[in-house]
Amino acid sequence: MAWSDRCAVESAPFKQSVDHPNLVLVTCILASSLAFIDGSVVNVGLPAIGKSLHGDAAQLQWIVNAYLLPLSALLLLGGALGDRFGRRKILIAGITLFALGSALCGFAPSLGLLLIARVIQGSGAALLLPNSLAILGSAFSGEARGRAIGTWSAVSAIAAAVGPVLGGWLIDTVDWRFIFFINLPVALAGIAMALAYVRDPPRDSDGPPLDFLGAALATIALAALTWGLTVGSGHSGWTPMALSAIAAGIILSAFFLWVERQRGDKAMTPLSVFGSRSFVGLTLLTLLLYGALGGLLVLVPYILIQGAHYTATAAGAALLPFPIVLAVASPIMGGIAGRSGPRLPLAIGPMIVAAGFLLLLLLTPAASYWMGVLPAILVISLGMAGAVAPLTTAVLTSVDARHTGSASGLNSAVSRAGGLVATALLGGVLAAQGQMLYGAFHIAATAGAIVSVLAGLSAFVFVGRSST
């Protein structure tokens, strides 16, 4: 989950009078929960899906990344589409697309069709997420908006906690396909409530042209990089084809930046936000820290099921302390950051996360959950709690007021991209068996610790004391 999504609520540019604001809040929660629950549940389902559809390590990586790729690349475009054509209309389109993808995932007879369905899901999430949050921001104002954001955050944490456990139970007792089918009633309820209670604020129908070229370039560049990293980290190694894909991704990324620079403030990603030294540091921190977290959320359930022979339910429950600690501790750490400034919490939090990754080295075939998993999860969640709330505040204050929407949306997209890249590099772990699985996992945990330290250093070096 990208907890920085809540930034989008705070930057919603419109205010409107609504007849049933609490029902609008429920609608936004239903829509957002589709994307949040799906991301965590599928990680628990990877071993069962791989066994059922005969997937190798690279294909398992793509089950995650086929969803993250369009979500990372199209998130900003999804928000712009809502501003242009109406947020309710694009929200309903996004939920519908997500539901269609979920149904296709559940019925998919092969991995190839499952991956296509996951792309559809990710595209739907890219439409529904920014618009559900923008609708929430426009339905409330002042103290009421703060309470609404708090409620949305709390329910998101509950969904993140319950989702993997429910998904694991469905895998163990019914079939892995039902982790996708459970999205359908939620989607239908979200569509019905959006039609009944959501009203669009005034919109700029004559605004600048939508940046479809930028969205296409971002998607193709990320796809090339992801494919190259996935192949390179697998059994095939860093073949000329893998390196060529990575080179193509880098070249396309450079072309994307050139196009965005030419479009100026009309771009999907206005590069003027990078004129802030603090924002550069925050973007780097987000990419690194959420990359490490994305790898963790894929690997821990996988190794518990494949290596320690946990049931899917138990593997889902193993991560339960993470969202609970995050939900409880984040407001406290936010208050501390408000008094001290974001720089030190953003530097120290990732260092604590790094210590948690090193504690994962205690996870061996003989280790119990209480000694091999829980201490690491608790430390990582405390470190993330130290970084999440200050990151939200720092992103919004690192750029001028007219760019807060672009900055918060870009930060959310970067957090997804971090998970995308991390998952693409996990081929060696997912392909390992037996004792070698634990050895590969320990290498990945050590890499996660190093990346987290670099995230903390980026905050210390680049982020100003007041993040301005």
Run of H or E residues at 216: helix 212-233
Common-topology check for domains 1-203 and 275-468: yes
d(CA 62, CA 37): 18
**Is-contact 111 53, C-beta < 8 A?**
yes
Percent of the chain past pLDDT 70, that is, above it, reads 88
Q: Tell which CATH classification among 1.20.1250.20, 2.40.480.10, 3.40.30.10, 1.10.1050.10 matches the domain 1-203.
A: 1.20.1250.20
Run of H or E residues at 63: helix 57-85
pLDDT surpasses 70 at 178: yes
Q: Mention the CATH class of domain 275-468.
A: mainly alpha
pLDDT surpasses 90 at 457: yes
pLDDT surpasses 50 at 468: no
pLDDT surpasses 90 at 181: yes
Question: Residue length, the chain?
Answer: 468
For 397-423, the DSSP string reads: HSS-GGGHHHHHHHHHHHHHHHHHHHH
- Of 206-220, 300-314, 397-411, give the range with the top mean pLDDT: 300-314
pTM: 0.86
**Is-contact 189 68, C-beta < 8 A?**
no
pLDDT surpasses 60 at 4: no
Place 466 in a pLDDT band, splitting at 50, 70 and 90: low
Query: Mean pLDDT of all residues in the chain?
Result: 84
Residue 463 has what pLDDT?
80
Q: 191 versus 22: which is more confidently predicted?
A: 191
Place 89 in a pLDDT band, splitting at 50, 70 and 90: very high
Listed in sequence order, the residues at least 6 apart from 73 whose beta carbon sits closer than 8 Å to its beta carbon are 126, 215, 218, 219, 222, 413
The long-range contacts involving 160-163, CB below 8 angstroms and separated by at least 24 positions, are 160/1, 160/36, 160/37, 160/40, 160/322, 160/323, 161/320, 161/323, 161/324, 163/36, 163/37, 163/40, 163/41, 163/316
The per-residue pLDDT for range 314-344, each reduced to its tens digit, is 999 998 898 888 878 877 777 776 677 778 8
For 295-316, the DSSP string reads: HHHHHHHHHHHHTS---HHHHH
Residue 203 has what pLDDT?
59
Q: Phi and psi of 244, rounded to 5°?
A: -65, -40
Residue 215 has what pLDDT?
84
Listed in sequence order, the residues at least 6 apart from 266 whose beta carbon sits closer than 8 Å to its beta carbon are 208, 209, 211
Q: Which of the residue ranges 138-147, 178-187, 423-432 would you say has the lowest mean pLDDT?
A: 138-147
pLDDT surpasses 50 at 6: no
The long-range contacts involving 232-236, CB below 8 angstroms and separated by at least 24 positions, are 232/427, 233/424, 233/425, 233/426, 233/427, 233/428, 234/57, 234/58, 234/427, 234/428, 234/431, 235/57, 235/427, 235/431
Residue with tokens 């936000």: 273
3-state secondary structure of 464: coil
pLDDT surpasses 50 at 3: no
Q: Where are the domains of the chain?
A: 1-203, 212-267, 275-468
Q: 356 versus 204: which is more confidently predicted?
A: 356
pLDDT surpasses 80 at 355: yes
Place 37 in a pLDDT band, splitting at 50, 70 and 90: confident
Place 7 in a pLDDT band, splitting at 50, 70 and 90: very low
Q: 20 versus 316: which is more confidently predicted?
A: 316
Q: In this structure, which amino acid lies at residue 268?
A: M
Q: 460 versus 96: which is more confidently predicted?
A: 96
pLDDT surpasses 90 at 392: no
Residue 417 has what pLDDT?
87
